[in-house]
Amino acid sequence: MFAAPLRALGYIEGQNLLVERRFAQNRPERLPALARELVELRPDVILAVATSAIHAVKDATSTLPVVFLINGDPVAAGLVPSLARTGNNLTGVMISPEGSLAAKRVELLRESVPRAVRAGLLGLDTSSLAWQQQVEETRAAASSLGLQLNLVTIRGEDYAGAFTALAAARVQALVVGAAPIFLRDRMQIIELAAKHRLPAMYEWPLQVRDGGLMSYGANEAETFQQVAAYIDRVLNGAKPGDLPVWQPSKLYFVINLKVAKALGLALPPSLLLRADEVIE
C-alpha cells in the first residue's frame, strides 16, 4: 500500500530504505508482542495501521516516532489528545472525518438493492472501540432502513467459511467492513462475493476498480500519499507531536456498472448521477 508513494518521495526499499514488517494475521492478541519486537529494533519511525495495532505500539514506546493510519477518531480512542497538535510521539492519517461512514454505506447499498430484507456485515474478531463503533452504526442504519443485519466475523483468514455463513443466513446484500486486512485481501472477497452473487459495498475505490460493486470513503491514493508524506517528514526531523492528524477533505462514491449488470441490478439513475466515478 505504501511502497509506491514512498518510492515517489525517493525511498526505495533495499537501497536507501530498510523495512521490518510484522503482521498479526487477524489475531489481535499477538499485537503487543509484535509491537515490542519492533520497538526493540529502534527504527527511525514506526508505521501502525488500525486502532488495535496503534494502541499496541503506543503501549510499547513513548519515545519512538509513530505514524498511524486509523479508521476511527484517534482522540476518542485515547491515542492523541488533539487532532490539531498531538503533543506526543504519534501522528498520522484519519481515514474518515465523519465517524465510521457505516451509515452512509448502508444507505447507498439499500438504494442499490431496494428489495433486500437481509444484509450481511463482514467483520473482524476484535473488541477495538473503532470497530465496535462501526458495528453499532451499521446495525442502527440497517434497522432504520428495515434491514435485518447479520454480522459474520472472519476467523483467521477463512473467507470461504465466512461467505458460507453469509449464504446460510440468506443475506441479499453485503457491507464489507472498513479494515486494512479487507483491502489487502480484496481479491478473495471480491471473487467470493461474485461467486455468491452478493452486491457488496466496500471502503476504497481500489476495491471497486478491482471488481467490487461500490465503495464510499476516502481515496486510497491520496490517503496513502499522505501517510508516506508524514513518514518522510519524520525521517527528516519533524516531531510527530507538531504534526496535525490529517483528514480527507472529500469522500468518494464509486460504482462499478459492469458488476451491477453481471448481478442483474438496475441501479437508479439518481444513484449513478451522485457517483464520483462510474466504471463501465
Q: Where are the domains of the chain?
A: 3-95+220-242, 102-217+252-279
The C-alpha atoms of residue 117 and residue 136 are separated, in whole angstroms, by: 18
* Residue 159 pLDDT: 95
Residues of the chain with pLDDT under 70: 98
* Residue 278 pLDDT: 97
* Residue 40 pLDDT: 97
Q: What element of type H or E holds 7? A: helix 3-8
pLDDT digits (tens, 9 = 90+) for 172-185: 999 999 988 899 99
Q: 241 is written with which cell numbers?
A: 507531536
β-strands 118-123, 173-176 pairing: parallel
pLDDT digits (tens, 9 = 90+) for 18-41: 999 998 877 888 999 999 999 999
Domains 3-95+220-242 and 102-217+252-279 share a fold: yes
* Residue 21 pLDDT: 94
Most distant CA pair in the chain, distance: 56
Closest by CA to 203, choosing from 229, 237, 177, 164, is 177
Per the document, the length of the chain is 280
* Residue 72 pLDDT: 81
* Residue 156 pLDDT: 77
* Residue 131 pLDDT: 84
State the pTM of this model: 0.90
Q: What architecture is the 3-95+220-242 domain classified under in CATH?
A: 3-Layer(aba) Sandwich (3.40)
What CATH number was assigned to the domain covering residues 102-217+252-279? 3.40.50.2300
* Residue 71 pLDDT: 85
* Residue 24 pLDDT: 84
